Amino acid sequence: MRIAVLGSTGSIGTSCLDVIAANPERLELVGVTAHRRWELLAEQCRTFQPRWAVLSDETQHAAVSTAQASSTQWPSETELLVGPDAVERLASHPEVDTVVCGIVGAAGLRGAWAAVESGKRVAIANKETLVVAGPLVMQLAAKTGAELIPVDSEHSAIYQCLQSGRRADVKRIVLTASGGPFRGWSKSRLESEATIERALAHPTWQMGPKITIDSATMMNKALEIIEARWLFGLDADQISVVVHPQSIVHSFVEFVDGSVIAQLSPPDMKLPIQYALTYPERWEGISPKLDWSAVHQFDFAPPDLDAFPALALGFEVARRGGASGAVLNAANEVAVQRFLDGSLRFTDIPRACREILNAHNDDAHPTLSELLRQDAWAREEMLRWKS
């Protein structure tokens, strides 16, 4: 299987390369992409010698050109392509069988769209693709025969659980949430004590800063609600969320007869990545295994919607559809960056997103260009937002 990894220098990308490295006889890395981290990209190319590497930030080209002069810094076997258009060319290349979409945020939409349009198997870790353009992406996949397999641990769990029953017999799905670093905090405590350092200290998962902050606000779960709505063809009322701090049970599917199927594993992204690459087969994996000789305790509790209002935004957008997903996602991306820059308080993130979502001009059936226009509008509004 010939694989291209979009966003190979991020947490999903590096975990994917670990899976490929563990299965060299069956998985071949033919392409990688990064935005600015060309040094790590070059290191990956020296290790795996893919045919193509893409650096989407054109301002880094001069530095890479200097490195290419030395074969010890950039392998001659790998052709370097530059610019965002090159990401799309790699994702749609006929010599690529499977595309792993690991680029964070709405920036990952173009590459994922190109892969779906080309009828690839798409291992989709970029939830924003479906949050922004879920109906359009799923319609395109149905037309081209592209196979979307989720990599998010929760959606991978749902995908796996669905193999045990018919989609028509699903009553609801239940997404689990760790609760993040502020689990159990009150709204008033979050207002006064939620710092950048605390928000970045996730108790169970090692992730990039944007996703870690989203987990702290529970906006990550809100986006997962929207993603699940389109990926699995469910109504918003068929999706629930419970807080599960151990992060062992990754999600449930409840069927109409009352049976509940769950997927369990230690919190490690290599397992859902490998499942997406090898489905319908299961191979011996490199992820840690559960020790069933030890005592385990699994706790579940309803989320605190007062302290974490971002969750309500996810359910609302899943019901509304239209351009609301694009607006919420764009507003949140800028809000998270403003929080990390120190110009926005933690509790302002969902508050500002709510105001911008309420202010946008909705379109029940937007085109892709309209979604991108709404995305740009929401980013500008969030940059101007003041509490």
Domain limits, CATH 3.40.50.720, in the chain: 2-150
What pLDDT is attached to residue 282? 95
Q: Would you state the pLDDT for residue 207?
A: 77
Residue 125, both tokens: 């870790």
Q: Which residues contact 132 (CB under 8 A, 6 or more apart)?
A: 106, 109, 325, 326, 329, 330, 371, 375
At 369 the pLDDT is 93
Mean pLDDT by 10 residues, the chain (387 residues): 95 95 96 90 93 87 64 77 92 97 85 96 92 95 97 96 93 95 95 94 81 93 96 96 96 97 95 97 95 95 96 96 95 96 96 96 90 95 93
Q: Could you tell me which residues are beta bridge partners of residue 100?
A: 5, 123
Instruction: Round to whole Å and give the CA distance between 342 and 29.
Output: 39
206 phi and psi, to 5 degrees?
A: -105, 110
pLDDT at 69: 54
- The reported pLDDT for the residue numbered 68 is 61
For the segment(s) 2-150, the CATH number from 3.40.50.720, 1.10.3720.10, 3.30.70.370, 3.40.640.10 is: 3.40.50.720
Sign of the C-alpha dihedral computed for residues 195, 211, 262 and 172 taken in this order: positive
How many other CB atoms are found less than 10 A from the CB of residue 168?
7
